[in-house]
């Protein structure tokens, strides 16, 4: 299959193939694929009545909900391009992204419309207004086929400096992401994916794409609550869940408090969002939690590297190998590195974005001959398994030694009194840089923490200073925002 070919509209085809299967479950409400298709047809007609047409760039701002899923699919039925917006952004950030993406209007879910309604230069339409519109599907012109090269979504990266960049995703990017994951994990008849990451992020959106392509039930859980997540895994016979490290850490702690065991039906906990600590992986293994590390980013339409099930124990700590249609290699100083040599991870494959919306310079810098420069550091072992160390920009060089914040954070979070931890490097006259730690903890002193670290880390990796906070800055997908830790130090020094 080539990229200029077309495939049937995913939800429409799924409703035709398995109409009675459950597509979505939230609380006690179940919606079949046929029911979802019928509602999406009606919603698409209302969108069309409001002026949305094929090729329109339409903002979508909502928390996870059935209504968001319906609007998302309805936009695809028309052939509009969806600009996925993060509900945790400020008004100015949202307005900038809408303008940058050349959005014609924005549809907004309950609880977030007041963020941008007053100052948006384009129409802001609530879901309630949309669903109350008068329209029928009688004159609806729908996109019955998806051309894999056509633009489907625009999703902005969470840049740490300057403005974020709009990553463009084609239907092909999303399709091959689903196929690559299926070839790695397999598809089981009773698969059920628990969605507790936001749909405006690529990891959440990819779950919805997999649902209609696989014919798989998705259980919605929003917001993330480790107790409710564990309960859903047990009661709903969840087979797959996507999480990041801090989410898994909280789930395990609740799991131990509840003194329960995850059922055998849970066959895969996909762990992404950055390097995982050895302590967390070993703890999961000891509790028989089937954790499989993955590696990916917005630019790769979710995971592009994943650990195959048969290597989950023998390659503990590895993100795995590239999915079937993809490639990865390590580059340093412009040259490909041999096994065990650290460098920048670059990847290639049909899930890799073609670039950033209206940013040709950024695109040409990041993507060369199809190879995407990820900005992450890592190495391949002798068998080709990828080990991700950290973001290149987060690397701490102390006395000539490379120090990876993720490694220190993994040790810190393994302490029973620490709920969360973050590490950055600051300038030091003697060593060049030294690590400092930010901790969420009760009843723990700096001396106790440093003593704990000295037992597990080389001396140059032990945090030289410790700051105790009520919570750490994390984005909607629970990734640590290290740049805000630097901002905290700046504010502290100015006071």
pLDDT digits (tens, 9 = 90+) for 38-60: 999 999 999 999 999 999 999 99
Cα separation, 143 vs 76, whole angstroms: 7
Q: Do 327 and 427 belong to one domain?
A: no
Query: Does residue 107 belong to any structural domain of this protein?
Result: yes
Model confidence pLDDT, tens digit, residues 59-80: 999 999 999 999 999 999 999 9
CATH assignment at residue 122: 3.40.50.12780
Tell me the DSSP string of 301-364. Answer: TEEEEE--GGGTTTTTT--BEE-TT-EEEEEETTEEPPTT--EEEEEESTTS-S-BTT-HHHHH
Report the sign of the C-alpha dihedral through residues 29, 34, 39, 43, in that order.
Answer: positive
| pLDDT (0 to 100) of residue 160 | 46
40 assigned to some structural domain? yes
CA dihedral 5, 8, 9, 10 (to 10 degrees): -100
Q: Is the peptide bond before 306 cis (omega within 30 degrees of 0)?
A: no
Q: What is the CATH number of the domain that holds 479?
A: 3.30.300.30
Boundaries of domain holding 70 = 6-147
pLDDT band at 406 (very low <50, low <70, confident <90, very high): confident
User: Using CA atoms, how far apart are residues 271 and 278, in angstroms rounded to an integer?
Assistant: 13
Q: Are residues 240 and 126 in the same domain?
A: no
Task: Tell me the average pLDDT across 317-338.
Answer: 95
Is a pLDDT exceeding 90 seen at residue 482?
A: no
Residue 184 lies in a domain: yes
**Inter-helix orientation angle 405-413/446-456, to 10°:** 110
For the segment 178-235, what is each residue's pLDDT rounded down to a tens digit?
999 999 999 998 999 999 999 999 999 999 999 999 999 999 998 889 999 999 999 9
For 416: left if phi > 0, alpha if psi spans -120 to 50, otherwise beta; the answer is alpha
Straight-line distance from the first to the last Cα atom of the chain, in angstroms, rounded to the nearest whole number: 61
Looking at the structure, tell me whether residues 387 and 400 fall in a common domain. no
pTM score over 0.75: yes
How far is residue 222's CA from residue 63's CA, in Å, rounded to a whole number? 8
The answer to whether the CB of 212 falls within 8 A of the CB of 11 is yes
Q: How confident is the model at residue 1 (pLDDT cuts 50, 70, 90)?
A: very low
């Amino acid at each position: 299959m080539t990229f200029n070919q077309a495939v049937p509209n995913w939800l429409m085809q799924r409703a035709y193939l398995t109409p009675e299967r459950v597509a979505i479950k939230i609380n006690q409400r179940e919606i079949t694929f046929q029911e979802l298709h019928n509602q999406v047809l009606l919603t698409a007609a209302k969108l069309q009545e409001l002026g949305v047409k094929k090729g329109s760039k339409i903002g979508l701002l909502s928390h996870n909900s059935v209504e968001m899923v319906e609007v998302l699919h309805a936009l695809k039925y028309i052939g509009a391009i969806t600009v996925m917006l993060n509900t945790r952004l400020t008004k100015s950030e949202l307005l900038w992204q809408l303008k940058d993406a050349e959005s014609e209007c924005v549809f907004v879910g309950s609880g977030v419309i007041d963020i941008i309604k007053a100052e948006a230069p384009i129409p802001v339409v609530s879901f309630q207004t949309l669903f109350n519109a008068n329209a029928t599907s009688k004159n609806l012109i729908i996109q019955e086929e998806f051309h894999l090269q056509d633009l489907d979504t625009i999703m902005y990266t969470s840049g740490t400096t300057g403005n974020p960049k709009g990553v463009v995703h084609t239907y092909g990017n999303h399709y091959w992401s689903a196929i690559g994951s299926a070839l790695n994990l397999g598809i089981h008849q009773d698969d059920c994916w628990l969605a507790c990451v936001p749909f405006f992020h690529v990891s959440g959106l990819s779950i919805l794409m997999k649902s209609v392509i696989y014919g798989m039930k998705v259980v919605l859980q929003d917001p993330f609550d480790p107790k409710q997540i564990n309960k859903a895994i047990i009661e709903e016979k969840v087979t797959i869940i996507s999480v990041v490290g801090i989410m898994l850490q909280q789930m395990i702690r609740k799991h131990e408090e509840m003194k329960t065991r995850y059922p055998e039906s849970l066959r895969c906990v996909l762990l992404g969002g950055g390097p995982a600590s050895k302590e967390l992986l070993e703890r999961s293994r000891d509790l028989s939690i089937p954790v499989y590390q993955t590696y990916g980013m917005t630019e790769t339409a979710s995971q592009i590297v994943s650990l195959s099930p048969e290597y989950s124990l023998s390659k503990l700590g590895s993100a795995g190998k590239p999915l079937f249609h993809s490639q990865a290699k390590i580059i340093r100083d412009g040259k490909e590195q041999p096994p065990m040599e650290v460098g920048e991870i670059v990847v290639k494959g049909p899930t890799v974005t073609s670039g950033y919306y209206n940013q040709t310079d950024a695109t040409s810098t990041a993507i060369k001959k199809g190879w995407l420069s990820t900005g992450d550091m890592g190495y391949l072992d002798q068998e080709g398994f990828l080990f991700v160390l950290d973001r290149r920009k987060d690397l701490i060089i102390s006395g000539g030694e490379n120090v990876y914040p993720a490694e220190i954070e993994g040790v810190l979070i393994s302490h029973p009194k620490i709920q969360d931890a973050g590490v950055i490097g600051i300038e030091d006259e003697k060593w060049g840089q030294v690590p400092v730690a930010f901790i969420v903890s009760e009843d723990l002193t700096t001396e106790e923490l440093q003593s704990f670290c000295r037992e597990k880390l080389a001396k140059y990796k032990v945090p030289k200073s410790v700051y105790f906070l009520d919570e750490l800055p994390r984005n909607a997908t629970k990734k640590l925002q290290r740049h805000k830790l630097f901002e905290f130090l700046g504010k502290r020094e100015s006071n």
